[in-house]
Structure 1
Amino acid sequence: MNLFLRLLLILAALPCFSQINYESGYFITNNGIKTECQIKNLAWKNNPADFDFKLTPEAEPQKGLKKGVSEFYVNGYKFVRYDVLIDRSSASLSQLSNRPEPQWQKEVLFLKVLVEGKMSLYEYKEENLVKYFYTTANDGKAQQLLYREYESDGSIRKNNAFRQDLYNLMKDSKSPGEFEKLRYEREDLVKLFRSYNGDTASATNLSGATKGALHIKVTAGAAIASLKVDAVVPGYNYDFGGKTVFDIGAEVEYILPFNNNKWAVFTAPYVESYSAAGTNQAHAIKVEYTSVNIPIGARHYMFLNDKSKLFINAAYVLGINSGDSYLEYKSNFTTKLDIGNFPNLSLGAGYCYGPFSAELRYGIKRQLFNYSGRNASYTTLGLLLGYKLL
């Protein structure tokens, strides 16, 4: 077990040394000079304050700052710097204002381009803050589309001024009904701006940005399972040692749509059966344990190239008995203890090549029961193989 934990710590440190994705892009300085370069693509979830670039693939990294850069682009992500007035009102219940009016403050921001055309749409995200801005062909100044939630007389109310503002800007080709139920969300706003711009529109970040993906795989493996019974009363202790168990199951994984698809959540139900017997100075002892295990966890990938990657994961595992699971003591009489449904945690580290995967997985100690003065701890260490169907 200690060897596995050391391996896991080594793999956890690999993101610091794994390949950094510098991709072809450009930036434009304040005086309008465009520089083709390699930009570190972080698949930004939040808008950046700066970015890293290399003038050539072999060059040392440099930092691009807002004060000197007006625009930069890499693989579908385009950010433009603007001096803006921003209302940072929060939609969090604990931070709601009691004022419907915006509270503007001046800031210099890199805004993410969502749609470009005769009227362009931009997004600014920062943790739980999401604000949208626009520019027109006649006025290159970025202005915020105002949406503000506030508290009044114990109720949550909404200032939807952005609907009226957009109607005033687009009424030459849009009807009032198209704005009545318009949501202050990316999907609705992108659809509206693309429709208004017609053939001149482009949704810059939606083509190149990472997207979520659902994967399904079948899994099978083997593990060394250990069961140890500890009791206050002598004669009821026993260590069954390591036994080989076989696992078969399936996994559903969702790749999260940010940070270059390096993070995922998953569930991977599998069935496992453990059977062992032995004797101590007082009893013949037998255990039968079959469980349906349902891990629910998170995974981090470290890409080596287009086909192969390392990963580490951790999961909370629900252990549900399937059939008759018990621990039995037999001497002059028989004592049978039922095994309950108890959770545990698991840690894993592995490697993927194409649709194939191999994972070393450690099931941290699970208590099978907890009778007064007596408990049983169950651990596993095994190899799990998988094949991705989707």
Structure 2
Amino acid sequence: MKKLTSLVLLFSTLGMFSQTKFEKGYFIDNQNNKVECLIKNLRWLNNPKEIQYKLNENGDERSFSVENSKGFQVYNGPYYHRVSGEFPITTALTTDKGIEATPKLVDREVFVKEIITGKASLYEYYDENERNFVLFTTEDKQTPIILLYKQYIRVNSNDIKENNIYRRQLLEHLNCGTVEDIQKTAYTRKSLVSYILSYNKCVDPLHEGKEIDKASFKTKTKLGLIVFGGVANYGFDPSSIRDIDFENKVSPTVGLELEAILPFGNNKWSVFLSSQYASYKAKGKTTLNNVELEVGDIELSQIVNNFGGRHYMFFSNNLSVFMQFGATLDHNTTKNFNPNSEFRRSVYEIRSFNFGGFGGVGLSIDQKYYLNTTYFVGGSILRNDLDSPNNLKRFVVSVGVKL
């Protein structure tokens, strides 16, 4: 564990010097000038407030914000449009909802992200505690229609109710003979996108519009299969069986991993699911009257299933280091533990399945070639060895390639 902590601290320090790409884009200043530049693309999960940019590759890093920019775009990404107005506190993303049905309105000037462009355009505002939706129509492209909504709790009840004011707004501004469809439209991105696309098609069948950010999500979410192999250093230390040492052994390991690089944070975050095979076979020894004796042996084969997350830190367009953490489910396919007769075998039966966790660091080239180190914790394989919650020690070094 100390080794893992040291490695994490080292790679965290290196991460302070890692890079985020500046990509071609533009912003519109308050005088309606379009400024071509290189924007530091963080692929924002929450709507950004301040954006860093350069006028050229060798230029100084500058910034613009919602106060001095009407909008901006990284090319091939969604457009962010400045909107000022009264936004509802929907309480949809919080547990503290209250009994007041009327939404509290808060003045905001923010960048909202374009989701649909067409006769009716849909934008989204999102932060940790709130999600709002904004409409623009071809009749008035300058005035935003901020859709109002509120979740609340009925008095003397824990039932969550909804004040769907936005449906009246849709009926007033985007009604194409589809009142029933409006009543079915929920205050969610998926439902609003579906309705607005159908409205655009209704008013102009040749120009339905398109869901910009969905297409962007599909192209940016990268799914890949990694084949890897390496060596696993195993050790076994059941503390309830005193004065016995089991040998550390190194054995080969092979596996497959499915990784999804997420569409925000500039390709720096991913989730993965992996499965690998490894085995361990060793003898237990003790010393009695200065004589070394064999007092048992263990033979273990495992299918190690990992689910976790990974954070990349880029040092160039090609080279990155990463940290990873997650949970482990081991399936012990071979589980022979044979202590000598003085130990009660039934007490020390090996489980068929055991849970644990892992952490590690590694190096990647082009997010295609990998050098990976993983340390496993919480691997208790004996049923009743309560004194040893981590009696199986494992450290794996592997190399992999993404297909």
TM class by shorter chain equals 0.7 to 0.9
What SS does the corresponding residue of 2:299 show, helix, strand or coil? strand
Match of 1:167 among 167, 171, 178: 171
Q: Is the 8 A contact 1:112 1:124 kept in 2?
A: yes
Q: Find the aligned partners of 2:344 and 2:98 in 1 and give their Cα distance.
A: 64
Written as runs of structure 1 = structure 2, the 5 A alignment for 1:1-390 is: 5-75=5-75, 76-92=77-93, 94-139=95-140, 140-153=142-155, 154=157, 155-171=159-175, 173-197=176-200, 198=204, 199=207, 201-208=209-216, 211-231=220-240, 236-282=242-288, 283-285=293-295, 286-303=297-314, 309-329=320-340, 335-336=344-345, 337-340=348-351, 341-353=353-365, 355-364=368-377, 366-369=379-382, 371=385, 377-389=391-403
1:252-289, Cα deviation, whole Å (9 max, x unpaired) = 33333321232122222223221111432244222222
What TM-score results when the alignment is normalised by the length of structure 2?
0.84
Tell me, yes or no, if the aligned pair for 2:87 and 2:148 is still in contact at 8 Å: no
- Aligned partners of 2:380 and 2:388 also within 8 Å: no
1:10 partner SS: helix
* 1:344 Cα deviation from its structure 2 partner: 2.9
CA–CA distance in 1 between the matches of 2:402 and 2:387?
46
Contact kept in structure 1, 2:238 and 2:385, CA below 8 Å: no
Measure how far apart 1:365 and its partner are: 6.0
Amino acid at match of 2:209: A
Distance 1:193 1:373 in 2: 61
Distance 1:54 1:243, change over 3 A: same
Partners of 2:11 and 2:323 within 8 A in 1: yes
CA separation in 2, counterparts of 1:386 and 1:245? Answer: 17
Structure 1 CA distance for aligned equivalents of residues 268 and 163 of structure 2: 37
Which moves more between the two structures, 63-72 or 315-324?
Answer: 315-324
| Structure 1 stretch displaced more, 59-68 or 179-188 | 179-188
Post-superposition offset of 1:46: 0.7
- In the TM superposition, what is the alpha-carbon distance from 1:64 to its structure 2 partner? 0.6
SS at 1:261 equivalent: coil
After TM superposition, the score normalised by the length of structure 1 is 0.87
d(CA) in 1 for partners of 2:251, 2:164: 60
Measured in 2, the distance between the counterparts of 1:150 and 1:2 equals 48
Distance 2:102 2:8 in 1: 52
Letter in 2 for 1:132: F
CA distance in 1, matches of 2:52, 2:222: 27
Deviation at 1:128, TM superposition (A): 3.5
Taking a change above 3 Å as real, the CA distance of residues 101 and 217 of structure 1, as seen in their structure-2 partners, is same
CA distance in 2, matches of 1:382, 1:321: 17
- The residue type paired with residue 292 of structure 1 is I
Distance 1:334 1:17, change over 3 A: closer
Cα 1:116–1:219 change in 2 (3 A) is: same
Unaligned runs of 5+ in 2: none
Supply the AA of the counterpart residue of 1:223.
Answer: A
Cα distance in 1 for residues equivalent to 2:215 and 2:332 = 47
Is the Cα–Cα contact under 8 Å of residues 247 and 270 in structure 1 kept in the other structure? Answer: yes
Q: Distance in 1 between matches of 2:121 and 2:302?
A: 56
Query: In structure 2, the residue corresponding to 1:269 is in which secondary structure?
Result: strand
In 1, the alpha carbon distance for the partners of 2:387 and 2:106 equals 64
TM-superposed CA distance for 1:150, in Å, is: 1.5
Worse overlay, 96-105 or 17-26: 96-105
Structure 1 residue matching 2:103: 3-state secondary structure: coil
CA positional deviation for 1:133: 0.8
* Letter of the 2:312 counterpart: Y
Tell me the alpha carbon deviations over residues 27-56 of structure 1, each in whole angstroms, 9 at most, x when there is no partner. 111121221111111101111111111122
What is the aligned length?
A: 383
Aligned equivalents of 1:61, 1:31: Cα separation in 2: 22
Superposition CA RMSD, Å:
2.8
Question: Closer, same or farther in 2 for the Cα pair 1:66/1:353, shift >3 Å?
Answer: closer
